[in-house]
Chains A and B, each alone.
Chain A
């Protein structure tokens, strides 16, 4: 294929409103990209002959991106700038094509490529400030998003609003990467208020629920997190094993916080033995063992961003330890000294009575332990009728 064939094909596809075919020809993972005939720095004259406005600017920018990507060595920094110009041209295109949405695939592919190029630049270029190019890319995506979200008067079948979720997912990927989760909030609100939010393609819904579920986890809203991550996990096809595993890495600790311990087989199947080992320590109320598992897999917990969530699980170890003490003593007035001894026994060597009070008080306040503390007698008083340790999964407000 030479340049003229390439351009005339695009011109023809444009005339037949074939957005998704065009998108294949301007994708940076398309089959055309290694074609040397297309690596032309400036083809504006030719482009204008075959491709109509407003698509011409998109194609110009795309060809320039290809040109810089195939310089030797590849000039990703300038390629990124051209891809940015490409998305800006798409913004104009979206603005001009009122009340129609067949052009959305063009937006999808250029936006995704912009994000990926930003990522590439940041991993390659030592000089680039971390997150800076990614953030710029997200700003660019945002201008597309504004146009889509603003297209509210057009009928549902033609509205650009159906492009919102794709963009939101792209922006989530950026915000999670650069640790600016607070920027997700308005996006979530925009999606949740759409009347047709359940009609987006299932793959987009899975990505969306995965990120919102993670966000809810960091906001300590575990019920929502469980709901969203479970949806993502259950709907993600088995052939995407890596993605399923990724979802699971966040779903499991949330489930554990809600009192559901993971099965050994599942954890082995997805190669996340970390959680099973944690669960074992928790079940035994073995605080020392819990700390050891934390230390052993510290890097994994930090890299995946669940370190603090997993740390929060420790209170379950205390709960199970105290339950053991209660079952041994079989009394309804337990001297806190017994808890202190147990804590020291499992390795909390420098623990004091004050701290024991605090741990017991925490469990009571969270509803994980039913009873009250008598400071004067240094005793925990629990009910005679019902079990003082309700099932973790049954605790309201968890």
Chain B
């Protein structure tokens, strides 16, 4: 993907000279055609993402930003736009997503070193992770989680290969604590994938025995072993955005537990208390649990008194063709509350 040019030196590529957020040429063009985004009305234009034509190597240096300018762009996006309270997150996301994409494009075009690449990509990973978690229940017309996930995945892979390259070639450095967060997010995002697990478990001891990655690996193992009780307990130990990404697996895990319960507790008469299910499945609100029970055809919430006593599981009633949505989790939100979000995303605070 990006690796085609890895043996060449930085000199074979154009080095950007633009010190602002946006090249002059684009500013002129967009002002004359009045293509100014809501967030650019104050006069600060930021370079848009455009699909590169076949002649992208012909790009002029003044149309590409310097490494410092790219860093400043990201900081501006997070510190100024991301924190805006006037517009909903999905609106801010659309704008930041596009501008980050332009940054990523320039990383490739200028063939930055692994060290610089990681520095630019890490905040994008954090931003996409946050958005994926926070916007998960927003309708697809407003937020396409598949696309967000795909881009997050690409950024993660690129980061990981840069860390490896820095290690193997012994050029440059990276912040170990950032790497551990990125590794853990990658593992939690791909909890189903065997290859991802295999990669994580082959990392050297110093990395994989850290609390965060160690916990993430334990969670993966318990996921594959279907030992969900331990898994749900451990998920709550994960920090901030790692926990947020891990919590995106809750819907499939909850459904699986409810399928298992529908078989194990299947009985016409005997009931299982709602409180037990709620505790085990980590539901913050009983209401959303009841909603999901009805989604899966386990229980109709018609008689409140009956529901209070408990749930009748019946192996014949469980509807495997249905799925349940994800929910925002208090444990994640509480952890995120401990941080000044822009600092967390820009990794300017201790992330471990």
Cβ of B264 and Cβ of A302 under 8 Å apart?
A: no
Known: A127-B169, A308-B197. A374 touches B263 (CB 8 A): no
Cβ of A362 and Cβ of B199 under 8 Å apart?
A: no
A361 vs B280: C-alpha distance in the bound complex, in angstroms? 13
Cβ of B225 and Cβ of A315 under 8 Å apart?
A: yes
A312 vs B221: C-alpha distance in the bound complex, in angstroms? 9
Known: A181-B194, A315-B225, A375-B310. A354 touches B266 (CB 8 A): no
**Closest-CB distance, B275 to chain A (whole angstroms):** 11
A contact residues, total (Cβ < 8 Å): 32
**Closest-CB distance, B28 to chain A (whole angstroms):** 40
A79 vs B132: C-alpha distance in the bound complex, in angstroms? 46
Report chain A residues within 8 Å CB of B273. Answer: 375
Q: Bits for A346-357, please: 1 = Cβ < 8 Å to B, else 0.
A: 000000001100
The reply on A14 being an interface residue by CB < 8 A is: no
A375 vs B279: C-alpha distance in the bound complex, in angstroms? 14
A355 vs B257: C-alpha distance in the bound complex, in angstroms? 12
Cβ of A179 and Cβ of B229 under 8 Å apart?
A: no
* A126, A312, A364: the one within 8 Å of B168 (CB): A126
The reply on A311 being an interface residue by CB < 8 A is: yes
The reply on B230 being an interface residue by CB < 8 A is: yes
Cβ of A355 and Cβ of B230 under 8 Å apart?
A: yes
- 8 Å CB interface, B1-60 against A: 3, 6
* B202, B225, B257: the one within 8 Å of A314 (CB): B225
Of chain B, the residue at the smallest CB distance from A380 is B264
Of chain B, the residue at the smallest CB distance from A313 is B225
Report chain A residues within 8 Å CB of B279. Answer: 354
A227 vs B267: C-alpha distance in the bound complex, in angstroms? 37
Cβ of B164 and Cβ of A129 under 8 Å apart?
A: yes
Q: Bits for B278-305, please: 1 = Cβ < 8 Å to A, else 0.
A: 0110000000000000000000000000
A397 vs B273: C-alpha distance in the bound complex, in angstroms? 30
Q: Bits for A207-234, please: 1 = Cβ < 8 Å to B, else 0.
A: 0000000000010000000000000000
Report chain A residues within 8 Å CB of B227. Answer: 314, 358-359, 362
Q: Which 8 A-B residue pairs are closest in the complex by CB-CB distance?
A: A361-B264, A365-B260, A364-B264, A358-B229, A179-B195, A365-B263, A375-B272, A355-B229
Besides A179-B195, A180-B195, A372-B266, 5 new A-B residue pairs in contact (Cβ under 8 A), listed by A number: A308-B221, A364-B263, A364-B264, A372-B267, A372-B270
Q: Chain A residues in contact with chain B, CB under 8 A? A: 126-127, 129-130, 132, 179-182, 218, 302, 305, 307-308, 311-312, 314-315, 354-355, 358-362, 364-365, 372-376
* A/B interface sample: 14 pairs, CB < 8 A: A179-B198, A218-B194, A302-B201, A308-B197, A311-B225, A314-B225, A354-B280, A358-B229, A361-B260, A361-B265, A372-B267, A373-B264, A375-B273, A375-B310
